[in-house]
Chain A
């Protein structure tokens, strides 16, 4: 990540972005969105794509102007001061740890599809160890595995789209040959405006990971290609998401979807395709595992970068020479965080873990909000950028505020506020330390 002139072409960046983004947020999270707002989830996904693109665009423009390894937290620091750099870095770290924890649990739930007798924690521990091993093999091995995983994920979605079209055309026999193409307003928005509003967070959640691409755009051959790479990537993602989710809500009624099963498995359940749940379950596990490992890798390097900038104890910046410059203390802390989130999930009564997962998504959106705010200060004199940025801010605010309207996810909003409060308190405490060390006046 350190080289300022890389060898990536823009389309390679787009592909990596697609591979990194498609994860459990899309495969599993979308079913919660569908159960809240029904078929109109498709519009949520389109709005989510627009909002995500605006965030990416702001980040890419700042990166092109002043390429920095610290990425969004560095820019937040330039725009608003050290507290912003500190909070953005740690906010991102926290949200990633929580997201990883939730992915781990999702993977374990899915694995029990085949082995219902084995307790959840054995799967969770197994995937965690496997993920740490992949990270320990270093960047080279990681890249190769990720490319393979990306292909498998994409193939799975493609398979669903083809099968779904075949089913709708009546080429595959099934018990259910009735389509549910929504035609009236109440069919399209069964949850009303509030339901639609609340579903936005799940659409955004499926696009999470865009910051990674912002950081990776440092490796582009031509930095000015960064906005193009993002545009292509998000258009491709939006088409795939809208098409696949649009098809699944057309095939079965909205009531059939629930959060422990992928909407795509639900949609094809009535078509006597015995192999499909197995293959698709495997693909989701691979997808979840690869995004989780990417997140673990990213979080490990992120904390090292935070420590290098003096916003975390310097211990976490230490890199092991034996293990390909991997910051081992940072990996250890991420592992501890991961363990804590698994234990929370297993010990606390069901719902609380869901709240934390929602909170993680909201924390991510706080970060996006800051990316756009920073770009206001850094990219000046561009009216068009300002207009776009306001639209982006409005969409993010809508997604965050939407969580307050749905009873089942509202506590997640309060949990996210709790995390912000903790980071804020630490920030206040750190301010005194910064004042001491930031003094430029010399007495000797």
Chain B
């Protein structure tokens, strides 16, 4: 009956809410396994997800690859100053991610919230011709409704 109340307080130490926040972001064992493969073992995996009605195809990647990817993309932007600022911010986020992950591992609390893909293509079911490409995609794990191992382009 160990209660986890570490998020009972906000950052400034004030009491937030009575209920503990649900730490489990997905109850889908398969999705959980896939996430662990990409996050822990660095595997890249082609999948198609249904996310709130939208279909998204791409390569499932870990958060580390994602942060590195967006940092590089930012540097490739035209405006030099802005791209450097954004790349710096992205890099800061990567460092914060590494820190948080280490901290979570020490406390045995591996609870990823987000899912990351690269070379993602998304489709809308109602309008077949509306589709778009994005190199880096990030979504909420809890929003994923379905997974398949197809890859559409």
Interface residues of A (CB under 8 A from B): 2, 66, 77-79, 81-83, 308-310, 314, 317, 431, 434-440, 442-444
- A309 to B100, Cβ gap below 8 A? no
Q: Bound complex: CA of A444 vs CA of B94, how far in Å?
A: 9
Known contacts A309-B3, A317-B2, A436-B103: does B11 contact A443 (CB below 8 Å)? no
Residue of A314, A434, A443 near B9 (CB, 8 A) is: A434
CB distance from A330 to the nearest CB of B (A): 14
**Total A-B residue pairs with C-beta atoms closer than 8 Å?**
67
CB nearest neighbor in A for B98: A443
Please give the distance in Å from B111's CB to the nearest CB on chain A.
8
Bound complex: CA A431 to CA B13 (Å): 8
Residue of A nearest to B64 (CB): A444
The one of A308, A309, A437, A438 that contacts B10, using a Cβ cutoff of 8 Å: A438
When chains A and B are docked, how far (Å) is the Cα of A232 from the Cα of B113? 53
Partner of B7, one of A66, A78, A317, A440: A440
Across-interface contacts of B4 in A (CB, < 8 A): 310
Chain B residues with CB under 8 A of A436: 103
Kindly provide the distance from the CB of B68 to the nearest chain A CB, expressed in whole angstroms: 13
Among candidates A81, A308, A437, A440, residue contacting B3 with C-beta atoms closer than 8 Å: A308
Q: A437-B107, A440-B21 are in contact. List 16 more A-B contacts (CB 8 A).
A: A77-B9, A81-B14, A82-B13, A82-B15, A308-B3, A310-B5, A437-B6, A438-B13, A439-B100, A442-B112, A443-B93, A444-B39, A444-B101, A444-B112, A444-B113, A444-B114
CB-defined contacts of B18 to chain A, threshold 8 Å: 66
Sorted nearest first, the 4 A-B pairs with minimum C-beta distance are A443-B97, A444-B63, A442-B113, A81-B13
Q: Nearest CB to that of A76 among chain B residues?
A: B15
Known: A442-B113, A444-B39, A444-B114. A82 touches B9 (CB 8 A): yes
Write the chain A residue with the least CB distance to B14.
Answer: A81
B residues in contact with A308, CB < 8 Å: 1-3
A78 surroundings in chain B (CB, below 8 A) = 15
**Bound complex: CA A82 to CA B6 (Å):** 10
Closest to A443 in B: B97
Residues on the A chain within 8 Å of B2, using CB: 308, 314, 317
| Residues of chain A lying within 8 A (CB to CB) of residue B14 | 81
**Which residues from B are CB-within-8-Å of A2?**
1
A-B contact pairs, 5 of them (CB 8 A): A79-B15, A308-B2, A437-B103, A438-B7, A443-B63
